[in-house]
Amino acid sequence: PKVCYTQPDGTERVVEAEVGDSVMQAAVRNGVPGILGQCGGSLSCATCHVFLDERHADDFPPVGEDEDDMLDVAATDRADNSRLSCQLVLAAGQEVHVTIPETQL
Ligand code: FES
Read off the pLDDT of each residue in 28-53 and give the average, rounded to a whole number. 98
Question: If we measure between CA atoms, which residue out of 8, 32, 24, 40 comes closest to residue 89?
Answer: 24
What does the alpha-carbon distance between residue 98 and residue 88 come to, in Å, rounded to a whole number? 11
Which amino acid type is present at position 9?
D
**Ligand 1 atom nearest to 47, measured from its CA:** 1
Task: CATH number for 2-99: choose from 2.30.180.10, 3.10.20.30, 3.40.50.300, 3.40.930.10.
Answer: 3.10.20.30
Which of 32, 39, 72 to mutate for ligand 1's pocket (most ligand atoms within 8 Å of CB)?
39
Q: How far is the CA of 42 from the centre of ligand 1 (A)?
A: 6
Query: What is the residue extent of each domain of the chain?
Result: 2-99
Which of 22, 28, 47, 67 to mutate for ligand 1's pocket (most ligand atoms within 8 Å of CB)?
47
CB neighbour class for 53 (10 Å; exposed up to 12, middle 13-18, buried from 19)? middle
Computed over every residue of the chain, the mean pLDDT equals 98
Q: How far is the CA of 85 from the centre of ligand 1 (A)?
A: 7
Read off the pLDDT of each residue in 46-63 and give the average, rounded to a whole number. 96
pLDDT, position 43: 98
CA-CA-CA-CA torsion sign (39, 44, 48, 54): positive
What value, to the nearest 5°, has the Cα angle with vertex 36 and ends 85 and 27? 60
Nearest CA, atom 4, ligand 1: 43
What does the alpha-carbon distance between residue 6 and residue 72 come to, in Å, rounded to a whole number? 22
pLDDT, position 84: 98
pLDDT, position 40: 98
| pLDDT above 70 as % of the chain | 100
